[in-house]
Amino acid sequence: MSKVGAAACETLTRLGRALPVDPAVLTDGQLIRLVEDAEAAQRQVGAVKLAVAAEMARRSAADDPGSLARRLGFKTAAAALSGLTGSSGREAQRLVTEAADLAGLPAVEAAVLDGRIGREAAAAISGELKKAASTADAGDLEAAQTELVELAVSTGADEVRAKAAETAAGLTVEVVQEQAKKAMAERFFWMSPVIDGSARVSGRLPTGHASVIKSVLDGLRNPKGKKTVTFQPVAEDAPGDARTAGQADADHLRDVFALAARSVDMPDMAGDHPTVWLSTTLSELESGAGLAFYAGTPGPVPASEAVQAACTGGTQAVIFDDQGAVLNLGRSTRGFTRRQRRAISLRDGGTCLIPDCSVPAQWCEVHHVISYRDGGATDIGNGVNLCWFHHHDIDTGPWQIRMTNGTPEVRYAYGGRTIDWKPVGNGTAAHLQTTAPPGAPPPLQ
């Protein structure tokens, strides 16, 4: 950084001649000149502060045993500046950072040091151009600095920042294109076979692919809107979501594919919908302690997972006797239809039924309140929306569900306290029935 303040004396002297002053007694012309002189002086003082910060940083290198900051009793140059001036640590660090950024942009630095542009405009330029400095052509980068400095002399920092962003993008077009081409060539997604109850996944995604997935996960992590409920548990007694962020994202990712699997646009497998195969002995099936095998997956899972999956996909029971002979090959049973799901979503408020869970209905599974194994019907009077997590835990967790005259009700037992049954859902649509009165259209199927 070269000498600073060549024009400072003249600028500060001009301002000094106007002081002290009561702005209220000035004419319009005098007030305008005072504003201009004060801003010019501010630019000169800002330039001196940047020059001082740059030199303080140079004399306070972390690996220098004679660091000036350390001799003053501070760890860093920014801390020393803050201590010496009484400014905030944030402002001191901003000064050091701005000075370092300007060091790589000599044309912008020179404009700051001679007071032609202020700190704010310089930061707007350097903040964008430094993104392109390592890859842009040196001549193009120099021309961009000159153009932006000329703009900053005559316009505000906001316009300068917008133009700087546009210019920086133009300097890196070829680099960005090469990066995108490389990312597309290297893209992949891999999932291992299921081993010991789980599969490993890995991958590398281009920016566009990653942005789509991230936007969906962000939306599921931080949903907007509020579900209409008539029951709210006491906060200190209500069961919280104990999942880690990674566990929740794993569940959300599964929800995305479950939604896709229900789509009418999703290709069938060999002309049929995806089917959950449940293979077990008759005695195990009756006791509910059997094993299930997902199609295309060699490892077994508890039968409870197949029961849950059956709510939204097909299921086909393969029953064996104790010697391994096939006793029965059941017919595939489809889950709730799209029209049924829409009606249930309207009734339940558009999200998971469990209070305080905001997972949207389209990501939910429809749970048979009375299990289909126990004769429960697949109709809207026996179905409620549950996110995968709450559906998974509904038989063992604190929440319980029942239907009363077409309205879902929940209760919970947690921390030694049980709250009695309360209705949940959208009260204006809480009484959708599965049987129609005489002359009415048939029930939704």
70-84 pLDDT, tens per residue?
999 999 999 999 999
Is residue 424 a part of any domain in this protein? no
What is the spatial distance between Cα 404 and Cα 394, in angstroms, rounded to a whole number? 18
Does 53 have pLDDT greater than 70?
yes
Does 27 have pLDDT greater than 90?
yes
Range in 93-107, 147-161, 275-289 the model is least confident about: 275-289
Residues 324 and 269 in one domain: yes
Contacts of 286 (CB under 8 A, 6+ apart): none
Residues 172 and 38 in one domain: yes
Residues 83 and 141 in one domain: yes
Q: Where is the domain boundary, 122, 153, 176? A: 176
Report which of residues 299 and 68 the model is more confident about: 68
Please name the amino acid found at residue 378: T
Residues 132 and 206 in one domain: no
Q: Which residue range(s) make up the domain with 300?
A: 246-329
What is the spatial distance between Cα 242 and Cα 385, in angstroms, rounded to a whole number? 21
Q: Model confidence at 287, in pLDDT bands (50, 70, 90)?
A: low
Residues 215 and 127 in one domain: no
Residues 162 and 214 in one domain: no
Is residue 362 a part of any domain in this protein? no
Q: Where is the domain boundary, 147, 176, 205? A: 176
Report the pLDDT value the prediction gives residue 379, as an integer from 0 to 100. 86
What is the spatial order of strands in the sheet that 407-414 belongs to? 399-404, 407-414, 417-423
Tell me the CA end-to-end span of the chain in Å, nearest whole number: 77
163-192 pLDDT, tens per residue?
998 888 888 777 667 777 888 899 999 999
Is residue 374 a part of any domain in this protein? no
Q: Which residues of 57-91 are buried (b: 16+ CB within 10 A; e: fewer)?
A: beebeeeeeebbbeeeebebbbbbbbeeeebeeee
Q: Model confidence at 398, in pLDDT bands (50, 70, 90)?
A: confident
Does 331 have pLDDT greater than 50?
no
Does 225 have pLDDT greater than 80?
no
What is the separation of C-alpha 424 from the centre of its chain, rounded to a whole number of angstroms?
28
What is the spatial distance between Cα 205 and Cα 61, in angstroms, rounded to a whole number? 39
Does 276 have pLDDT greater than 60?
no
Is residue 372 a part of any domain in this protein? no
Report which of residues 46 and 134 the model is more confident about: 46
What is the separation of C-alpha 414 from the centre of its chain, rounded to a whole number of angstroms?
31
Residues 201 and 61 in one domain: no
Give the dihedral of Cα atoms 107, 108, 109, 115; nearest 10 deg. Answer: 110
Residues 164 and 277 in one domain: no
Residues 204 and 278 in one domain: no
Does 257 have pLDDT greater than 90?
no
Is residue 73 a part of any domain in this protein? yes
3-state secondary structure of 358: coil
Report the pLDDT value the prediction gives residue 304, as an integer from 0 to 100. 63
Q: Where is the domain boundary, 264, 295, 329? A: 329
Is residue 184 a part of any domain in this protein? no
Q: Model confidence at 327, in pLDDT bands (50, 70, 90)?
A: low
127-167 pLDDT, tens per residue?
889 888 877 888 989 999 999 999 999 888 889 999 998 88
Q: Model confidence at 439, in pLDDT bands (50, 70, 90)?
A: very low
How many separate domains does the chain show?
Answer: 3
Contacts of range 179-184, beta carbons closer than 8 Å, 24 or more positions apart: 180/206, 180/207, 183/207
Residues 50 and 123 in one domain: yes
Is residue 140 a part of any domain in this protein? yes
Residues 135 and 52 in one domain: yes
Contacts of 13 (CB under 8 A, 6+ apart): none
Residues 210 and 156 in one domain: no
pTM of the model: 0.44
Is residue 120 a part of any domain in this protein? yes
Report the pLDDT value the prediction gives residue 435, as an integer from 0 to 100. 36
Report which of residues 406 and 178 the model is more confident about: 406
Averaged confidence pLDDT in the chain: 78
Count of alpha carbons within 13 Å of 256, Cβ hemisphere only? 16
Neighbours of 310 (CB within 10 A): 26
3-state secondary structure of 143: helix
Asked whether the CA dihedral 257, 263, 267, 269 is positive or negative, the reply is: positive
Report the pLDDT value the prediction gives residue 59, as an integer from 0 to 100. 94
Does 118 have pLDDT greater than 80?
yes
Please name the amino acid found at residue 229: V
